[in-house]
Each structure stands twice: as structure tokens, then as C-alpha cells.
């Protein structure tokens, strides 16, 4: 469905009504679903797990896609590019290039949204190069994209395999929000969603916002309020995954198309960072989200209620994590589950002098909607990433 025009309603009305519908049904299953997913995931490590990868390649997206396609734990049902790091005119062929390099042209690649739900597109070509791959040049893809648009293909696959599909989202969430909003029953059929996005410790495109959420905060809010069990792998942990010259040498030393392509992209990214004066190499944001799904033991997770700021002039795209057991609210372990903790209300901004209403209560009690990654075993992460890309499973 074209996000620019939906019958007689505007894009903004579409977002508002969609968020309301999704939020109404989310609390009923949020309390247990998020925690239960990880217990089930650990209990069924055999896999393979059905996944759809929503992406905006992008340097780290490209390596994440290659990692996913070299991981037998994953059964990739589709790859759905979206505009983000660079426009869709580049993210789509970049995704097609990756499936050809990995020899996985059996995976359908469907074109997604060209723009956020209600905003103009902001890209990150300054970080990913004009072509999205750090300037690394590969042949034009011969593989054609799927006929269905991304949101429709997502909807079809989730309905075909209800309760089985995990969404691995490593770009702005426009495609996912569109699919959820056009099919109100869909959220209840999604097994889980693991995202690279957000931050509880400051942003990377503004002081407040992480890039993927900043590009389309309205879409992110739809997703966080959908009731899907969410894992947020944000800057809190991905900042600890800097690619180094040693990693590059290991990739260059492996003689296979995937490792050589990954090395070419990595080399350009490292040189680009060096030219811009950065002390460390590029962070493998998106690869960590994929790796964290493959091996959840790489990440330490903490339950939060996460919401997204959509109206702040300086804070749009900020992800806010509420917890009755964090910061100044930390309690002794034996008191962490005390009823007083879960009775914490989640409030909006204080009323202005011109308003007669009180502070809006977003939630009257604390119910987590996401497991947020708060720490990572970086050494083991890179062992997994480099070994998979090098062909050493």
C-alpha cells in the first residue's frame, strides 16, 4: 500500500488512527509476551527460525545481511529494503547485490517505503557514502525485486506462518508500521521483533535520537505500542562494537566471495572514518542486532517500557525507557518485584498555564513492552561475525 496516499485520509491521520488501534490491544499481551519469547527462544535453540529482515543498506546493514545469510539458524523468508541511510533507489539494489554475493537469490527482496510516514526523508550518506556502501563498488544486480511491495509481502508471510516469524529490523520502521497499520490483526501473529534502533544513553544524529528512530519516529511509536515482544538493540551496546584493522585482515585472509565483499566494504568504512577524524572504526550496529538474535547470550537485557518522542523540536526520535528499578528508582533485589514498583505511572509533560488539564498519564502502571540490551560481550560478538563472514562456522 502506498504510504503517500491511503484513500481519502491523510498520512498523519493514518498514523494517528493506527497508533490508537494498536495501543488499545497491546497491554493485554505485553506483560508476559516479551519475557516469554526469550525463554522460548532459549528452549528452542535448534532453529532454524523464520525471519524477515527489514533494512536500509548501509555499510553495517550490508555486513548484517551477509551475516544473516551465512547463519544456518535463520530461515530468511524475505528482505525488505526501506529508505534510510540512503534513498530506496540505492537501498534496494544494495540489498539485491548482497543476496547475489551470498548466493542467496532464492530470498525475495521487496521494495519498501520511499519516505517516512509523515516526514521528509533524512539520510546518512555522510556516514555511508553516496552509494550507501562506503564507496565500495559492486556490479549492478541482475536479480529483480519481488512484485509485491514490502509491507504487503511482510503481511503475507506473517499470515502464512502465524506465530513463527521474527522481524529483524535494522533500518527505519516505516515498512513494519505500514504493515501493522493496514492489518490490525497482524501484530498478534508476529513471533517477535528484534531491532537495531533507539538508545537510552543519547543519540548519534542528534544528542537525543538514534538515526533509525529519528528518521521515522511515528513508525517507531506504532511498533513499540503494537504489543509485539520487542528486543531493542540500541546505541547503549552497539557503541561497543568498533570494527578494527585486525578484523579487516581476518576478512581479507578468507578466500570466499562473502568475506572479500565484506572486507571491501569494511576497508572503505574504516578509511572513511579515519578521514573524518574519528578515533575508532565504524560500529557494527546492525550486525549486533542480528547476532544477538542468533545467540541471545551475547547480550544482557533489561525490561523497560519504551516510548518514542514524536513532537519535541529538539528531541523528536528520542527513545525513553521507563523502569521502576533503574536510576534513582533502583531497589534492593528483594524489593524489585514489590507492588509499589509496578504501580509506577508513566506521565507525559506537565500542563502549561494556558491548559486546564492535568499531566497526561500514558500508562497507569508499569508494564514493560521491550527487553533493552544494556551490555554486550563484544569479543564473542566479533568472533561470531568474523567467523561467519569468513566461512568458518
pLDDT of residue 31: 45
What does the buried/exposed string (b/e) look like for 179-199 if buried means 16 or more CB atoms within 10 Å of the residue's CB? bbbbbeebbbbbbbbbbbbbb
- pLDDT bin (cut points 50, 70, 90) of residue 16 is low
Residue 120's pLDDT band, with cuts at 50, 70 and 90, is very high
Residue 1 confidence (pLDDT): 41
Residues catalogued as catalytic: 285
pLDDT of 8 reads 41
Distance (Å, rounded) from C-alpha 219 to C-alpha 116?
8
Q: How many residues does the chain have?
A: 393
Predicted confidence (pLDDT) at residue 12 exceeds the cutoff of 60: no
pLDDT band at residue 375 under the 50/70/90 scheme: very high
pLDDT tens readout for residues 239-277: 999 999 999 999 999 989 999 999 999 999 999 888 888
Percent of the chain scoring above 90 in pLDDT: 69
251-261 residues labelled b (16+ CB within 10 A) or e (exposed): bbebeeebbeb
Among 146, 133, 158, CA closest to 62: 133
Which domains are delineated in the chain?
Answer: 11-323+373-390 (3.90.245.10), 324-367 (no CATH)
- Reported as a pLDDT band with limits 50, 70 and 90, residue 342 is confident
- Cell 549486533 belongs to residue: 288
Mean pLDDT of the chain: 88
Task: Note the pLDDT of residue 2.
Answer: 42
CA dist 183 and 172 (Å) reads 19
pLDDT tens column, 136-160: 889 999 999 999 999 999 999 999 9
What is the predicted pLDDT for the residue at 4?
40
pLDDT score for 19: 52
Cα 249 from chain centroid? 28
For residue range 179-227, what is the model confidence (pLDDT) as tens digits? 999 999 999 999 999 999 999 999 999 999 999 999 999 999 999 999 9
Asked if residue 115 has pLDDT above 50, the reply is yes
Distance of alpha carbon 361 from alpha carbon 223, whole angstroms? 20
Share of the chain above pLDDT 70, in %: 88
Peptide bond before residue 58 is cis, with ω within 30 degrees of 0: yes
- Per residue in 72-108, pLDDT (tens digit) is 999 999 999 999 999 999 999 999 999 999 999 999 9
How much is the pLDDT for 134?
82
Q: Which three cell numbers stand for residue 242?
A: 568498533
Amino acid at each position: 500500500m502506498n504510504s503517500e496516499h491511503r484513500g481519502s485520509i491523510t498520512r498523519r491521520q493514518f498514523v494517528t488512527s493506527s497508533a490508537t488501534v494498536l495501543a488499545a490491544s497491546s497491554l493485554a499481551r505485553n506483560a508476559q509476551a516479551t519475557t516469554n519469547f526469550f525463554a522460548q527462544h532459549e528452549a528452542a535453540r535448534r532453529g532454524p527460525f523464520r525471519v524477515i529482515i527489514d533494512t536500509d543498506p548501509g555499510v553495517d546493514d550490508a555486513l548484517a545481511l551477509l551475516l544473516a545469510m551465512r547463519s544456518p539458524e535463520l530461515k530468511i523468508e524475505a528482505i525488505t529494503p526501506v529508505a534510510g541511510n540512503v534513498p530506496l533507489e540505492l537501498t534496494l539494489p544494495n540489498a539485491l547485490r548482497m543476496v547475489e554475493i551470498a548466493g542467496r537469490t532464492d530470498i525475495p527482496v521487496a521494495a519498501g517505503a520511499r519516505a517516512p510516514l509523515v516526514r521528509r526523508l533524512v539520510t546518512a550518506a555522510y556516514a555511508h557514502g553516496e552509494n550507501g556502501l562506503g564507496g565500495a563498488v559492486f556490479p549492478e544486480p541482475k536479480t529483480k525485486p519481488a512484485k509485491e511491495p514490502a509491507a504487503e509481502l511482510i503481511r503475507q508471510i506473517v499470515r502464512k506462518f502465524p506465530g513463527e516469524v521474527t522481524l529483524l529490523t535494522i533500518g527505519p520502521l516505516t515498512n513494519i508500521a505500514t504493515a501493522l497499520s493496514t492489518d490490525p490483526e497482524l501484530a498478534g501473529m508476529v513471533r517477535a521483533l528484534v531491532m537495531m534502533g533507539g538508545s537510552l544513553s543519547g543519540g548519534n544524529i542528534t544528542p537525543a535520537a538514534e538515526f533509525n528512530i529519528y528518521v521515522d519516529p511515528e513508525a517507531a511509536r506504532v511498533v513499540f505500542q503494537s504489543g509485539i515482544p520487542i528486543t531493542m538493540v540500541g546505541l547503549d551496546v552497539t557503541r561497543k562494537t568498533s570494527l578494527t584493522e585486525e578484523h579487516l585482515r581476518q576478512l581479507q585472509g578468507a578466500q570466499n566471495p562473502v568475506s572479500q565483499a565484506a572486507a571491501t566494504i569494511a576497508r572503505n568504512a574504516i578509511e572513511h572514518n579515519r578521514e573524518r577524524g574519528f578515533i575508532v572504526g565504524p560500529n557494527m550496529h546492525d550486525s549486533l542486532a542480528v547476532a544477538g538474535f542468533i545467540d541471545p547470550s551475547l547480550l544482557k537485557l533489561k525490561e523497560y517500557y519504551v516510548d518514542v518522542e514524536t513532537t519535541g523540536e529538539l528531541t523528536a526520535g528520542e527513545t525513553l525507557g521507563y523502569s521502576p528499578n533503574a536510576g534513582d528508582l533502583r531497589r534492593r533485589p528483594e524489593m524489585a518485584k514489590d507492588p509499589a514498583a509496578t504501580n509506577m505511572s508513566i506521565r507525559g509533560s506537565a500542563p502549561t498555564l494556558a491548559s486546564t488539564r492535568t499531566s497526561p498519564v500514558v500508562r497507569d502502571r508499569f508494564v514493560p513492552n521491550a527487553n533493552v540490551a544494556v551490555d554486550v560481550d563484544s569479543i564473542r560478538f566479533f568472533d561470531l561475525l568474523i567467523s561467519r563472514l569468513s566461512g568458518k562456522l
